Each structure stands twice: as C-alpha cells, then as structure tokens.
A = this chain, B = another copy of it.
Amino acid sequence: MSMMVIMHEAATDEQVAHVCARVEEIGAGAHLSAGGRVKVIGVIGDREAITQLPLEAMPGVDRVVAILRPYKLVSREFQQRDTVIDVRGARIGGGHFALIAGPCSIETPEQVLAAAKAVKAAGGHMMRGGAFKPRTSPYAFQGLGEDGLAMMAAAGAETGLPIVTEVVDPRDLDVVCRYADVLQVGARNTQNFLLLAELGKAGKPVLLKRGPATTIEELLMAAEYIVKEGNRDVILCERGIRTFETATRNTLDVSAVPVIKIASHLPVVVDPSHSAGRLDLVLPLSLAGVAAGADGVLVETHPNPEHALCDGPQSLPTAVFGEYAERVLDLARWTGKTV
C-alpha cells in the first residue's frame, strides 16, 4: 500500500466512488476500509504514478497519508548493507570513520598547506576548503575560484590527503572535478535539484549537506536525485538546523545521525563548526556526533583564525588540532569504528 486517503466524515458515497475511480484510472488499486464514522481508501500500486494524482484536491478528501517512504534507492529497504565509499584510499561508511578538516576558505598556498599538514599529522583522512564561497552578504569575500582549487590540490598532493570542496554553480563542475576528490553541496543548495542531477553524473563522490530548514526526509530525497543518475557515492552531512534558540548559530540535530543510519545505507558525518558558530562548542559537538554513530566529522581548522577571511570565530587553530583529533578519533574507536 502506497497511500491512505482519509475521507471527511461527511463525504458522500459518490465522492468515495470518484476517488476510487481516479485511482483505478491510472492503473492502481483502491481498497476501501469503512469502520465507525470514517472511510479510508488504501491506494496500492506504483508510487510514482500515484504521487502525480492530486488526491487532496478531490471533493470529500480530508487528508492523504503516505505509507511508503518517498525515497527508494537510498533506503535500507533497497540496500541492507552500509555503503562504503573509498576516496583515494580513505574509506568512509560501513564501520570506517573519516576526519575531514581544513579552512573555511582557501586564502594562500601557505595557509592551505599549513592546514593540510596539521590535519595529516593529527591523523585526519581528508582535507576540506572552499574556493567558491556562497556568502550571505554581497560585500563578503567570495573565494579565490580556480586559483584556490590549485592551491588546495597542491597541498593535497604534498600531504596525500584527498580533497573535499564545494561546487555552487553547475557551470563550474568541470573545473572543480579537475582538482577535487569529493564534491560538496552546501547547505544553501541542498534542494538545488539541477545541481544535484548533474552531480549524479559527475563520477566523483558527493558530500551533501543538509539545509537549515530541510527535513531528514527531504535530505534523503535530495540524495535520491544524485543516486538516481547513477552516482551511489553520497555522504550525508548534518550541520545544524534553524530553530528558535539563539545561543548557537544553528541547532545541531544530533538525532539525525541515528535516524539516517536506520533509514538509509549512506554514510553520515556531522559538521560541528557551522552548527555552533562558536569555537568552544566544536569539540563537545564533534564528540556528540561521533557518539551518536556518525561515520565522520567535517570541521574547520585554520593556522591563524584571527586573520581568516571567513568563519574565523569557529575555526580550530591548527596548533590545537592534534589534541582535538586525538579525542575525536579515540571516541570513534570506542564506538567500534576503524579510524
């Protein structure tokens, strides 16, 4: 059964018959359950076809309850075992843990190399950094573009760390693919469906961030857009949702980690830096995410946060990154992960 159509108490027999007829018209089955004062019509058949029917617009219909989840390829029902993604030797998912770290934005070759070395030395698995930066203000630093990518690639080559970086414009996809190992979708593009569809054909793993007002179900639907085009290597990222609380920039929805692990076979990471927007919360939130079962952490580190062009206030100084990483990796081991 795909859906249940709950009729109003006052719905007439004609209205019930009309809904059933419309359902059967598209080749699906309608199964009427009547009991007490309320009639319910179960709809059986191809979910995609049924979704097209505007059942709620039909006279006498009170509401429609989806029985099946609206996503398919990313679900545990479709694939029981965990997806394991191998990024040039760094593995994530299925018991493999990845610590992904680096500066918010790439600024200079020295800065990115210093960060990469600190990440490598601390046992990190991949490096992150932004060359194309979507910024709330048109007056803020917008990133170095391809120059930044080249700096990051050089640092990646020197340290052996795979590179995670954001794509914001489908027209940049080719150039980003020349340098990056993992293509990141930022929180403002979680539902930029045309970008997702192109990433589905890009042939590189994708790290898909949850938007601040995206439900977990919508995040899984967004991942479905990518997987549907043939790219099964999608890492999901919880980075905080918008709530009424103002003590933190966003509210890390740590429950999303186990909820996603139960519903889907894809790996999940947490981003404590953007969630909190406060340096003093980065370690506790990282540990919370790992304890809840995350397959990795995506975190900002910078050799000199006080001179960072972006997100300085929440970036770990590279000088303390080793200590940070030790706690995070030790807890990942405690949860049974291979680090």
A contact residues vs B (CB 8 Å cutoff): 1-2, 4, 6, 9, 22, 29, 31, 33-40, 42, 44-45, 47-48, 51-52, 54-58, 65, 67-68, 70, 77, 134-141, 168-171, 188-189, 191-194, 197, 211-213, 215-218, 221, 224-225, 228, 241-248, 251-259, 262, 275-276, 279-281, 284-285, 287-293, 305-309, 311-313, 315, 331, 334
CA A212 to CA B191, docked complex, whole Å: 12
CB distance from A333 to the nearest CB of B (A): 10
A247 with B215, Cβ < 8 A, contacts A171-B171, A275-B255, A334-B334 known = yes
Listed by A's residue number, 11 A-B pairs whose Cβ atoms lie within 8 Å are A6-B67, A51-B137, A136-B191, A215-B246, A215-B247, A241-B245, A243-B251, A245-B256, A246-B246, A255-B285, A285-B292
CA A52 to CA B254, docked complex, whole Å: 30
Chain B residues near A47 (CB-CB < 8 A): 139
CB distance from A34 to the nearest CB of B (A): 8
| Complex contact B281–A255 (CB within 8 A) | yes
For A315, the closest partner residue in chain B by CB is B57
| Complex contact B215–A213 (CB within 8 A) | no
Chain B residues near A188 (CB-CB < 8 A): 191-193
For A9, give its contact among B56, B77, B170, B257 (CB under 8 Å). Answer: B77
Chain B residues near A258 (CB-CB < 8 A): 280-281, 284-285
| Complex contact A193–B244 (CB within 8 A) | no
Extra 20 A-B pairs, beta carbons < 8 Å, given A242-B242, A284-B292, A288-B292 = A1-B40, A31-B35, A51-B140, A54-B308, A54-B313, A57-B305, A57-B308, A138-B221, A168-B194, A211-B213, A213-B242, A241-B243, A243-B253, A245-B253, A251-B251, A254-B288, A259-B281, A262-B280, A288-B291, A291-B292
CB distance from A151 to the nearest CB of B (A): 20
CB distance from A286 to the nearest CB of B (A): 9
CA A292 to CA B187, docked complex, whole Å: 24
- The prevalent SS among residues of A at the interface is mixed
Chain B residues near A313 (CB-CB < 8 A): 54-57
Chain B residues near A244 (CB-CB < 8 A): 213, 215, 241-244
CB distance from A159 to the nearest CB of B (A): 25
Chain B residues near A312 (CB-CB < 8 A): 54, 56-57
Chain B residues near A77 (CB-CB < 8 A): 9
Chain B residues near A34 (CB-CB < 8 A): 1
For A192, give its contact among B56, B189, B217, B292 (CB under 8 Å). Answer: B189
CA A225 to CA B140, docked complex, whole Å: 11
Chain B residues near A247 (CB-CB < 8 A): 215-217, 255-256, 259
Chain B residues near A334 (CB-CB < 8 A): 331, 334
Chain B residues near A193 (CB-CB < 8 A): 134-135, 138, 168, 188
Q: Which of A140, A213, A259 has the most CB of B within 10 A?
A: A213
A291 with B331, Cβ < 8 A, contacts A65-B4, A245-B253 known = yes
